[in-house]
Amino acid sequence: MDYTQLGRSGLMVSRLCLGTMNFGPETSEADSHAIMDRAHEHGINFFDTANVYGWHKGEGITEQIIGRWFAVGGGRRERTVLATKVYGFMGDWPNESRLSALHIRRACEASLRRLQTDCIDLYQMHHVDRTTPWEEIWEAMSVLRHQGKIIYVGSSNFAGWHLAAAQEAARRQYVTGLVSEQSLYNLLTRWVELEVLPAAREYGIGLIPYSPLHGGLLSGVLRKQREGEGSRSITGNSAEALKANRKRIESYEKLCADLGEDPANVGLAWLLHQPGVTAPIVGPRTAAQLDSSLRAIAVALDAEVLARLDAQFPPPAPHGDQPAPEAYAW
């Protein structure tokens, strides 16, 4: 496994991040524990979760599963860089969601109980809160840090403007600010390249892409259809996205076949080749899926292949001859 610093921080994390959103809803607790054990065997030390995962309001089912795995001992917690999130609805009463100082404090303490740990390594804001001033947010995060309950702060689903506003407010209060941003990013969805990635690189914020295979569409979905597999990837919104992007995905799978690589590994490898990306999040439902994703670390994409991928999945710049964020200009 390769490791890199998380943004401008000194924290070293694996180039793949284990996503746990399937733990509970899709994957049993026993299988979830086996996946986390396997992740450590592979050298993956970066685990991502959220207090809302498990999708039963207020219960934090996924955090509980991780907490019971930590409780087994054997150095599991010590070897893990643990990231969770705050923002989502944990109840129906006021102050049971978003980023008020009150909710941040209560949500952090509840996550610590469920995770059976005394400190969260990376505490991420799951979404921007336009109603709470940054001064209040950073004061609340600073209190948690001084209490030893969190170490680093990250964000998720922030625009470039939000990253800039957050960092400038942190600077005014003489605090570290954000070290990471978790964004939707893959070959089919490259909007973060316009402003989020430039802002993140400018401020030393590491980007953690989620949905790196666009809900399975970049994992060889057409090949799986031909082989009678992958029915989960072609239902609902994924079916509509496949219909809209079928020609591009056909070309992509042909390119991957020419390279002799699995499409899923090429999609992950492409993200690992993008400047500013720290670690794509892989969310396996089985240990076998996790095993197969490790190949992405070793896949080297040369300039010709990267250019072919850009041609198949063009960046979203209105004027292709201008770099982002100036791409809007003439």
Report pLDDT digits (tens) over 57-69: 999 999 999 999 9
Tell me: pLDDT of 165 over 80: yes
Give the integer Cα–Cα distance in Å for 23 and 164: 33
Tell me: pLDDT of 232 over 60: no
- Other C-beta atoms closer than 10 Å to the C-beta of 73 total 9
pLDDT attached to residue 324: 83
Is residue 203 part of the annotated active site? The answer reads: no
Tell me: pLDDT of 319 over 90: no
Domain assignment present for residue 286? The answer is yes
**Two tokens, residue 167:** 């960092």
Catalytic residue among 53, 87, 152, 185: 53
Distances (CA, A) of 235 to 157, 180, 221: 25, 32, 12
Domain assignment present for residue 306? The answer is no
Query: Domain span at residue 18?
Result: 3-217+262-301
Domain CATH number, residue 183: 3.20.20.100
Domain assignment present for residue 254? The answer is no
pLDDT band (50, 70, 90) for residue 160: very high
- Other C-beta atoms closer than 10 Å to the C-beta of 288 total 11
**Domain tally, the chain:** 1
Domain assignment present for residue 82? The answer is yes
Tell me: pLDDT of 229 over 80: no
Please list, in sequence order, all residues whose beta carbon lies within 8 angstroms of the beta carbon of residue 251, skipping any fewer than 6 positions away: 312
**Two tokens, residue 138:** 């950073």
